[in-house]
Chains A and B, each alone.
Chain A
Amino acid sequence: MRRAALTPNPIPSLGLGLRREFLDQVLTELPAVAQWEIAPENWMGRGNLAEYQLDYLRDHYPISSHGLSLSIGSQDPLDEAFLLRLKAFLDRFSINRYSEHLSYCSVGGHLYDLLPIPFTEAAAEHVIARVRRVQEIIERPLVLENISYYASAATELDELSFIKRILQGADCELLLDVNNVYVNSINQGYDPHQFICELPSSRLTYGHIAGHHEEAPDLLIDTHGAGVKPAVVELLQLAQQVHGPFAVVLERDFNIPPLGELLNELYELDQQLQPLGEALHGN
């Protein structure tokens, strides 16, 4: 590995998911990272220290936000009080990008984890109406991410049609998580290349890449707990070839290595992706 040559020059194109495990080190050393992605639900209501930390981070990097508890696909009422608080939070720290998962995490109260929305027309209509309402309240685009899932609740529509139906119906943007595509393609048995190629380029504004765990040959778990697999990097390369370059964030939420190691992985990924990005820019 050419680790010594991996120091980014000047700034990598990849962002990184921020974790408290290495937050102090980030704020002290200010490593080269394109942007940090934070989960607002982990920062709102967390007292003065969190506020000072975020202010300091904001002074040195772009920040984007990636929510966890919106539950856009739930039948529980939309939590508008939360959305107003969220808007105030995003305004307070000048965070423009707010992405969330095309999923639900509450039914009669929160479950705090992401479940797959039954892929039906009626559910899509429900989501569309709620996305519009969210965008109205937060006065920002809502960027929706394709989630990983381990079983389908309903297949009236296939996953791709369901996603496209919502992007178009709600007029919103897509966060493409290529690891989720890979995990789902194994778990659900579909062709990840075809899935990626058929996404609408104009809606794809942002991406995620992460590692997964193989529980069984036909059951991968989206743990964000390991390095990114080469097959997943290839999917990202394909996505950028087909749809043009877009900002990408590396997610790591479990088995978090020392920051230096994580940054090396980031810079390495960056080198694998950057020539492509440059070529595309040149066209």
Chain B
Amino acid sequence: MATNKPSPDWRELQQQWAAAIRAPNQGSLPGVEPRRLAVYQRLVFNNIDSFISRGFPVLRQLHNEQQWQQLIYQFMQQHAAQSPLFADIGREFVAFAQQTLPAVWAQLAQYERMEVDALYAEVDYQLLHATNAAAEPAPSANELLDRVQFRVNPSVQLGVFQYPVQQVSAANPQPPAAAEPVCLVVYRELTSQPHWQQHEAVKFMQLTPLTMVLLETLQQANGSTLRAALASLQPYAVGYQPEQLAQALVTVVEGLMQRCVLFLAPE
């Protein structure tokens, strides 16, 4: 170009712009009118804020305007978000929250994200027996133990927390740690004939530690029988004889099948 001025370094300029947008209090840019820079500061903040406020409604309620604004700016300044997808901004925020928020709220953020992850989970419906209702007649206790193979609903999100995160609310913002680990499952209620009009519901449930380990075990060995899972469960069922445990588990899996958490694998 026919100019004698040294060419400005565009990389340097991008760095300056990004810094000014992420830290609006210190943010000014040479040669840029403050009200014009303010447009960018507002656009970027509002956009990120809207995604996080919508994704973490309980956490949002626990902060007043000023605290929340501060938290979002902290996220913008301290966390280098890697995902280009908008649905992932919440996941980026959870990673940031683990470093930043008090443990109870960091765990609450994880829990709130489980709902989104369950909603957006990719499920291969072909791999599931269309529904458990299709398994007629219902398998007997012996079949459940030794013959049928289970698949965990692929949308299942399991969380083990120190705090009763499901009880956190504006009235109960920081409950003390629970005596026992708090085991929670969030999942999508899969339908037998999914199509574009089928908005599947997301469900929440508290689990006993034993049921939690059962689901983890079955998740890791998808297509496993209950009998095969038994050995790894014994340590969590102190005082149960193996046969007692087996019977207890049959009842548990029947409940989980009814609730759409467990499916029979197609034979």
Contact = CB atoms under 8 A, between A and B. Distances in A.
Interface in B27-44: 29, 32-33, 35-37, 39-40, 43-44
Contacts of B198: 49, 52
Contacts of A110: 81-84
A121 B2 CA distance: 12
Nearest to A127: B10
Nearest to B88: A45
27 contacts: A27-B197, A45-B87, A48-B125, A49-B196, A49-B199, A50-B120, A68-B86, A70-B84, A75-B11, A79-B84, A107-B15, A108-B80, A110-B82, A110-B84, A111-B18, A111-B76, A112-B48, A112-B86, A113-B40, A115-B21, A122-B9, A122-B10, A150-B40, A151-B40, A156-B8, A219-B39, A221-B39
Contact of A156 (B1, B11, B29): B1
Interface in A174-232: 187, 215-216, 219, 221
Contact of A118 (B8, B125, B194): B8
B47 interface: yes
A121 B84 contact: no
Interface string A45-63: 1111110110110000000
A107 B39 contact: no
B129 to A, nearest CB: 17
A121 B7 CA distance: 8
Nearest to A110: B81
A215 B14 contact: no
B196 A107 contact: no
Contacts of B22: 111
Contacts of B143: none
Question: In the complex, which of the residues B17, B89, B199 has the most CB atoms of chain A within 10 Å of its own CB atom?
Answer: B17
Given A41-B84, A53-B196, A150-B36, 17 more contacts: A28-B197, A48-B123, A49-B200, A52-B194, A69-B86, A106-B81, A107-B17, A108-B80, A112-B81, A113-B43, A113-B47, A118-B13, A151-B29, A153-B14, A154-B10, A156-B1, A221-B39
A126 interface: yes
Q: Taking chain A's interface residues, is the majority helix, strand, or loop, or is none over half, making it mixed?
A: mixed
A46 B76 CA distance: 24
A267 interface: no
B3 interface: yes
B54 interface: no
B47 A219 contact: no
Contacts of A49: 194, 196, 198-200
Contacts of A187: 36
Interface in A14-30: 24, 27-28
A107 B10 contact: no
A46 to B, nearest CB: 5
A52 B195 contact: yes
A200 to B, nearest CB: 19
A153 B21 CA distance: 13
Contacts of A216: 35
A42 interface: yes
Nearest to A151: B36
B214 interface: no
Given A118-B10, A153-B13, A45 B44 contact: no
Given A52-B196, A113-B47, A126 B40 contact: no
Contacts of B5: 156
Contacts of B13: 118, 153-154
Interface in A100-142: 104, 106-113, 115, 117-118, 120-123, 126
